[in-house]
Amino acid sequence: GQNIDQPTEMTATEGAIVQINCTYQTSGFNGLFWYQQHAGEAPTFLSYNVLDGLEEKGRFSSFLSRSKGYSYLLLKELQMKDSASYLCAVRDSNYQLIWGAGTKLIIKP
């Protein structure tokens, strides 16, 4: 079966750095996505990785290792507005998105 695992909840302090991990087992691989979703709102796209390595975009970075079936999202200089759920999703060999359950990130002052 297809499976994506990410922690249910994480807590971090404003101004700090947090790393949210995602491991996956899917039928094929055609890219990995990270989305941010604030409570009651739509998911918004953060990053896309299809090759191994680190993609940096401002305060957010995403890393991929295809051989390990592993990705992480790194958030730096945390702000209160970063409190949200972070969804990892993998596009499989049929170009279907398989979603993780999401990680709820709580930022404390």
Residues that bind another protein (CB under 8 A): 30-31, 33, 40-45, 48, 50, 87, 89, 91, 95-97, 99-102, 104
Alpha carbon distances (Å) from 86 to 17, 37, 44, 82, 99: 15, 6, 10, 10, 11
Nearer residue to another protein within complex by CB, 41 or 77: 41
Nearer to another protein, 4 or 107 (CB): 4
CB of 64 to another protein, least distance (A): 13
How many angstroms from the chain centroid is the CA of residue 69? 13
Provide the 8-state DSSP code for 87.
E
Structure tokens at 95: 């170009």
Residue 45 bridge partners (DSSP): 35
Q: Between 83 and 96, whose beta carbon lies closer to another protein?
A: 96
Rounded least distance, CB 92 to another protein, Å: 11
d(CA 63, CA 61): 7
Q: How far is the CB of 17 from another protein (least distance, A)?
A: 25
